[in-house]
Structure 1
Amino acid sequence: MTALSLRGLRGGVGTSSLLAATGYALHSLGERVLLVDMSPENLLRLHFSVSFGERGGWARAMIEGKGWNTQAWSVEPGLSVLPYGRLKRDEQDHIEQRLLNEPNLWRRRQAALAEHFDWILFDVPLRLPGHACVGPCALRLQIVEADAACHVLLQQDEDPREHLLINRFDPVSQLQRDLLLIWRKQYGARLLPLNVHQDEAMREAQAFKMPVGAYAQASLVAQDVLSLATWCLTQRMGTA
């Protein structure tokens, strides 16, 4: 089983939507995929038609003393999503502290899931180090937009091990084209050789509670994400 994590460089760069789309794309290529929401915002489930009122999830189960592995939703055979669950702020703090105290918790969980899935994808939050302890990840992607804020934040980046993936790229924008050239020179192979383009289909898919590949298979962004999934597969073969 191969683990992949996506983390936004800042909030609002579309990490959860992109993770949902990538998981769906990998599944469309014949892979068994589990998507895990590590973020207390608990938004990943909304891309797979899980009811907004549904409170269950792995963190909710930990608070209530239930089995975390009973909380996954089967979207279709070979594709499942494990929500975070709806927690109050003090409950989120409790989970963060427990994860800090047990940094190998998700390593053990990954081992338990290995025979059931080919991929496990983690939606990792920005500023909760305990929640970022997801065990070994062969691929770690940091999601950025080609804007001034991300350019500044990259100068302060503390984890150069993560690959950089540009989301919502608009080739019409001179600023974005310029930043792309600068980043290619500055970050080299760390920057993925593909971009995910700005496309209204991604926002529409979220409104319809679907991954974009299921909502608009022929859209530009769905094809971009399919290319991303193919890149992930080649990286896995390269490390095998």
Structure 2
Amino acid sequence: MPLVCMSSPKGGVGKTTLTANVAHALARAGHRVVVLDLDPQNALRLHFGVALHDTAGFWTASGGDPLSAVRQTTAGPALLPHGSADMHQALQINASLASNPALLADPVRRLLADPELILLADTPPGASQAMAAILPMAALVVVILLADAASTALLPQVESGAFLGQGTLANLVASRARFVLNQVDPASRLSVSAAESVAAHLGSRLLGAVLRDPAMSEALAHQRLLLDFAPDSTAARDIRQIAQALAAALPKAPPPVAEPAPLPRLLDPASWGRP
């Protein structure tokens, strides 16, 4: 299973919304998908219709097995919510990951053992212990940017991976990064200009762009996914295109290795020295 880390240099860019809807688009295209919420806001579940009072999740799983919290959604992707956490609990989780990254890395590695699944991880904005724990396993890091002046100014830092750390961590991000522009406003010259500038600079590393569309927020208000709520909307078209580009960018699973044919007896070292 390839791991895709959905990330952003700052909050408020629509990262969680895009994670949910891209996962849904991948599932509708025939892929088996798991979405993992690593953001303490625990908001990813709302896109899949999980009740507000349902606070169970990855970090609050009973029995000590985080993967026991996985649930199959009616939309297609399997979901691992973060689980409800107040500020104190979120800080405790972060501190635990700093001292023991295996708390997250080990269950993620178990998920990755299935080569037919795609795992999308909704990571906290900016640098985090959660991202540091799983980044070495990531096939791609998808960075969500807004089509605005701030994102244009942050582009060198984002492109180099420095927004997530320094040294090896930054190098890992830079080599695996792909980008998505969100909330492009065709009525704003600044937004269009920023989008054109970023697109020209990133080239093929840009998976696509999503135009600002009220249908996106309306779908969340109804706790539905965009391709179900407004399948003919402009944003739905953009989401499908991004999911297609993401799937094409993922490394292909190696073909199964056939069992080696038995060696002729004279060439089999186990038979040497025997009559």
- TM-score w.r.t. the length of structure 1 is 0.89
CA spacing shift, 1:186–1:231, aligned 2, 3 Å: closer
2:235 corresponds in structure 1 to: 221
Q: Show structure 1 runs of 4+ deviating over 4 A.
A: 237-240
1:109-152 superposed Cα distances (whole Å, 9 cap, x missing partner)? 23322338511101111145212122511111111111122222
User: Displacement, 1:239?
Assistant: 7.9
1:56 corresponds in structure 2 to: 56
The answer (yes or no) to whether the contact 1:10–1:150 under 8 Å persists in 2 is: no
Does the alignment pair 1:204 with 2:218?
yes
The answer (yes or no) to whether the contact 1:5–1:141 under 8 Å persists in 2 is: yes
The answer (yes or no) to whether the contact 2:213–2:234 under 8 Å persists in 1 is: yes
Q: In 1, distance between residues paired with 2:183 and 2:57? A: 29
CA spacing shift, 1:200–1:131, aligned 2, 3 Å: same
1:173 corresponds in structure 2 to: 188
Does the alignment pair 1:233 with 2:221?
no
Q: Which one of 91, 94, 102 corresponds to residue 93 of structure 1?
A: 91
1:187 corresponds in structure 2 to: 202
1:44 corresponds in structure 2 to: 44
Q: In 2, distance between residues paired with 1:117 and 1:78? A: 15
Q: In 1, distance between residues paired with 2:58 and 2:119? A: 15
User: Displacement, 1:237?
Assistant: 4.9
RMSD of equivalent CA atoms: 2.2
CA spacing shift, 1:97–1:65, aligned 2, 3 Å: farther
1:178-208 superposed Cα distances (whole Å, 9 cap, x missing partner)? 212322343344333x211111111011001
1:148 corresponds in structure 2 to: 149
Aligned AA (2:106): R
1:73-118 superposed Cα distances (whole Å, 9 cap, x missing partner)? 2103852111111112221111111212223444422332233851
CA spacing shift, 1:183–1:127, aligned 2, 3 Å: closer
Q: How many residues align?
A: 237
CA spacing shift, 1:223–1:181, aligned 2, 3 Å: closer
1:29 corresponds in structure 2 to: 29
Q: In 2, distance between residues paired with 1:156 and 1:234? A: 26
- TM-score w.r.t. the length of structure 2 is 0.79
Q: In 2, distance between residues paired with 1:116 and 1:186? A: 33
User: Displacement, 1:235?
Assistant: 1.1
The answer (yes or no) to whether the contact 2:7–2:143 under 8 Å persists in 1 is: yes
Higher mean C-alpha deviation, range 64-73 or range 135-144: 64-73
SS of residue matched to 2:121: strand
Q: In 1, distance between residues paired with 2:251 and 2:81? A: 29
Taking only the aligned residue pairs, the percentage that are identical comes to: 29
SS of residue matched to 1:171: coil
Higher mean C-alpha deviation, range 144-153 or range 105-114: 105-114
Q: In 2, distance between residues paired with 1:77 and 1:150? A: 32
CA spacing shift, 1:66–1:26, aligned 2, 3 Å: same
1:110 corresponds in structure 2 to: 108
The answer (yes or no) to whether the contact 2:69–2:81 under 8 Å persists in 1 is: yes
The answer (yes or no) to whether the contact 1:34–1:117 under 8 Å persists in 2 is: no
2:165 corresponds in structure 1 to: none
2:13 corresponds in structure 1 to: 13
The answer (yes or no) to whether the contact 1:38–1:84 under 8 Å persists in 2 is: yes
SS of residue matched to 1:41: coil
Structure 1 or 2, whichever has the larger Rg, is 2
The answer (yes or no) to whether the contact 1:57–1:71 under 8 Å persists in 2 is: yes
SS of residue matched to 1:18: helix
The answer (yes or no) to whether the contact 1:78–1:117 under 8 Å persists in 2 is: no
Q: Which has the higher contact order (CA 8 A, sep 6+)?
A: 1
